[in-house]
Amino acid sequence: MSRSNPRVLNTLERAGGFASAQEVYRLMQREGQSIGLTTVYRALQSLVNDKIVDILRREDGEAIYRLCGDSHHHHLVCKGCGDTIEIEGGAVEKWAKSLAEEHGFRDVGHTAEIFGLCSKC
Amino acid sequence: MSRSNPRVLNTLERAGGFASAQEVYRLMQREGQSIGLTTVYRALQSLVNDKIVDILRREDGEAIYRLCGDSHHHHLVCKGCGDTIEIEGGAVEKWAKSLAEEHGFRDVGHTAEIFGLCSKC
DNA sequence: TTTGATAATGATAATCATTTTCATTTGTGA
DNA sequence: TCACAAATGAAAATGATTATCATTATCAAA
């Protein structure tokens, strides 16, 4: 029962591999594709199950879906102006991996974001 | 206009310094304290502004408030059974600090969570 | 003490993402 | 063609959060 609707996956790809369910839905609507919001949610959930996309959270709690295989990176976010800088997370990758192993976890992912005030704010 | 209601702060402390707004509210209700949900949200928001608490997100997107000054730690969460292990994040602290400095950020915080399947799941 | 301005409170309604329900449609094999 | 399971999507339900707005508490000045 793979509900990984290819049109949804395709839209997520074209959205830069990083979008919320609502955004994917609105984008497909705008393009004239006929699809229901429910199906978008189901397709994304299915893609998550199949480990084709990751799920993260925006600051306001909205879920955003990230295509796996996208170059994995983290964010440095300014609490003042909202500016976001993509950063590498080498140290974090190693940290997450070694700790997970240490506790016998498998199939491991992680999130890591840094926030503060940028020099302008 | 400090709305940092001391009863809310006190309740958050007694909840282990780590709870959602709804939980703080329910706890106060159960204890017979008379308070409105709105006030709980406002008080927590105010505490965030005053940098007395941090705000993070549960996996389901619900906001949880963490008392600053609590011994800072991270979580290793099992996606299967929800089990959570508190872990040290030395490597992450350094990573966050050095990257923030590098980009001229100040007043810096961070989140980092690891999730996977524990040995039982 | 009375008055008045201002801030705090909380019940209620509105918002918004997400999930559930359920009837309908589609695909597929017999 | 028929039957049946899977997929779809409209509409309603859910649940956290936020906005409204009338009421109440505070407190300084008259």
What is the pLDDT, as a whole number, of residue A2?
64
What is the pLDDT, as a whole number, of residue B81?
62
Tokens found for residue A80:
């003042």
**Is A93 part of the contact surface with chain B (CB cutoff 8 Å)?**
no
Nucleotides of C under 7 A from a protein CB: 7-12, 16-21
Q: How far is the CA of B39 from the C1' of C15 (A)?
A: 19
Average pLDDT over chain B reads 85
One pLDDT digit (tens) per residue for chain A, 121 residues: 567 889 999 999 998 888 999 999 999 999 999 999 999 999 999 999 988 998 888 888 999 998 876 667 788 877 666 667 878 778 888 888 898 899 999 888 887 888 888 887 7
Which residues 55-84 of chain B have a CB within 8 Å of chain A?
57, 61-63, 76, 78-79
Backbone phi and psi for residue A36, each to the nearest 5 degrees, phi listed first: -95, 150
Q: Tokens 């990083």 appear where?
A: A18
Q: How far is CA A121 from CA A7, B110, B112, in A?
A: 41, 18, 24
pLDDT tens-digit map of B2-13: 677 889 999 999
Chain A CB contacts of B121 under 8 Å are none
- Residue B1: pLDDT over 60: no
Instruction: Read off the pLDDT of each residue in B30-35 and give the average, rounded to a whole number.
Output: 90
d(CA A1, CA A93): 33
What is the pLDDT, as a whole number, of residue B110?
83
**Is B51 part of the contact surface with chain A (CB cutoff 8 Å)?**
no
The model carries a pTM of 0.78
Backbone phi and psi for residue B56, each to the nearest 5 degrees, phi listed first: -125, -175
